[in-house]
Amino acid sequence: MEPQPGEPVNAWRRIADCGALRLVALDLSPGQRVREHRNAIPVTLIVTHGELRYREGDTEGVASAGDVVLVNPGERHAYWSETGCRALLVFAGLPGVRARPWQVFGPGPWTRG
Protein backbone atom coordinates (compact mmCIF):
# COMPACT_ATOMS: atom_id res chain seq x y z
CA MET A 1 0.00 0.00 0.00
CA GLU A 2 1.39 3.38 -1.05
CA PRO A 3 1.46 6.15 1.57
CA GLN A 4 -0.96 9.00 0.88
CA PRO A 5 0.23 12.64 0.65
CA GLY A 6 0.46 14.22 4.08
CA GLU A 7 0.23 10.82 5.80
CA PRO A 8 2.53 10.40 8.83
CA VAL A 9 5.55 8.32 7.98
CA ASN A 10 7.23 5.29 9.46
CA ALA A 11 10.08 5.13 6.97
CA TRP A 12 12.99 4.64 9.37
CA ARG A 13 15.47 1.83 8.87
CA ARG A 14 18.27 1.25 11.37
CA ILE A 15 21.52 0.62 9.49
CA ALA A 16 24.11 0.29 12.23
CA ASP A 17 24.60 0.92 15.94
CA CYS A 18 27.68 0.94 18.16
CA GLY A 19 26.05 2.12 21.37
CA ALA A 20 27.15 5.75 21.45
CA LEU A 21 26.43 6.28 17.73
CA ARG A 22 23.47 5.18 15.59
CA LEU A 23 23.03 5.41 11.80
CA VAL A 24 19.45 5.40 10.48
CA ALA A 25 18.08 5.69 6.93
CA LEU A 26 15.01 7.80 6.22
CA ASP A 27 13.04 7.27 3.00
CA LEU A 28 10.16 9.70 2.42
CA SER A 29 7.64 9.24 -0.38
CA PRO A 30 6.21 12.37 -2.02
CA GLY A 31 3.98 14.22 0.46
CA GLN A 32 5.13 12.24 3.50
CA ARG A 33 6.24 14.01 6.64
CA VAL A 34 7.84 13.38 10.01
CA ARG A 35 5.78 15.24 12.63
CA GLU A 36 7.35 17.83 14.88
CA HIS A 37 9.31 16.29 17.73
CA ARG A 38 12.42 16.74 19.88
CA ASN A 39 15.51 14.61 20.49
CA ALA A 40 17.57 14.66 23.67
CA ILE A 41 20.79 14.36 21.64
CA PRO A 42 22.24 16.08 18.55
CA VAL A 43 21.15 14.68 15.17
CA THR A 44 22.82 15.11 11.79
CA LEU A 45 20.73 14.60 8.62
CA ILE A 46 22.64 13.97 5.39
CA VAL A 47 20.37 14.18 2.34
CA THR A 48 21.39 11.54 -0.21
CA HIS A 49 18.59 11.84 -2.81
CA GLY A 50 15.88 14.34 -3.63
CA GLU A 51 14.80 17.32 -1.58
CA LEU A 52 14.07 17.45 2.15
CA ARG A 53 12.08 20.32 3.61
CA TYR A 54 12.59 20.97 7.30
CA ARG A 55 11.60 23.20 10.16
CA GLU A 56 13.86 23.79 13.15
CA GLY A 57 12.19 26.03 15.73
CA ASP A 58 10.94 29.05 13.75
CA THR A 59 13.27 28.46 10.78
CA GLU A 60 12.25 26.58 7.62
CA GLY A 61 14.59 25.41 4.88
CA VAL A 62 15.21 23.05 2.00
CA ALA A 63 18.12 20.61 1.78
CA SER A 64 19.08 18.81 -1.43
CA ALA A 65 21.27 15.77 -2.09
CA GLY A 66 24.66 16.37 -0.49
CA ASP A 67 23.39 18.93 2.03
CA VAL A 68 23.67 18.47 5.79
CA VAL A 69 21.14 19.62 8.41
CA LEU A 70 22.27 19.83 12.05
CA VAL A 71 19.63 19.58 14.78
CA ASN A 72 20.52 20.68 18.30
CA PRO A 73 19.46 18.68 21.35
CA GLY A 74 16.01 19.63 22.59
CA GLU A 75 15.16 21.65 19.47
CA ARG A 76 11.67 21.15 17.99
CA HIS A 77 11.98 20.00 14.40
CA ALA A 78 10.01 18.35 11.58
CA TYR A 79 10.77 17.26 8.04
CA TRP A 80 8.83 16.39 4.91
CA SER A 81 9.24 16.02 1.16
CA GLU A 82 7.03 17.14 -1.69
CA THR A 83 8.91 15.02 -4.24
CA GLY A 84 10.35 12.18 -2.16
CA CYS A 85 13.81 11.99 -0.63
CA ARG A 86 16.30 9.81 1.17
CA ALA A 87 18.58 10.82 4.01
CA LEU A 88 20.94 9.32 6.54
CA LEU A 89 20.53 10.35 10.17
CA VAL A 90 23.43 10.14 12.59
CA PHE A 91 22.49 10.11 16.28
CA ALA A 92 25.58 10.75 18.42
CA GLY A 93 26.18 10.66 22.15
CA LEU A 94 23.28 8.43 23.13
CA PRO A 95 22.83 9.09 26.86
CA GLY A 96 23.84 6.39 29.30
CA VAL A 97 25.15 4.06 26.58
CA ARG A 98 28.67 2.65 26.42
CA ALA A 99 30.45 2.38 23.10
CA ARG A 100 30.68 -1.12 21.63
CA PRO A 101 31.67 -2.69 18.31
CA TRP A 102 29.45 -1.78 15.35
CA GLN A 103 26.39 -3.95 14.83
CA VAL A 104 25.19 -3.81 11.21
CA PHE A 105 21.55 -4.52 10.36
CA GLY A 106 21.19 -6.16 6.95
CA PRO A 107 23.13 -5.84 3.71
CA GLY A 108 23.40 -2.60 1.82
CA PRO A 109 25.82 -0.38 -0.08
CA TRP A 110 27.36 0.64 3.26
CA THR A 111 28.61 -2.88 4.09
CA ARG A 112 31.72 -4.61 2.83
CA GLY A 113 32.00 -8.09 1.44
Kindly report the pTM of this predicted structure: 0.77
What's the pLDDT score for residue 11? Answer: 79
Report domain extents, the chain. Answer: 12-95
Reported as a single tens digit per residue, the pLDDT across 63-95 is: 999 999 988 888 999 999 999 999 999 988 766
Q: How far is CA 94 from CA 21, 46, 88, 97, 112, in A?
A: 7, 19, 17, 6, 26
Which CATH code for domain 12-95? Answer: 2.60.120.10
What's the pLDDT score for residue 90? Answer: 92
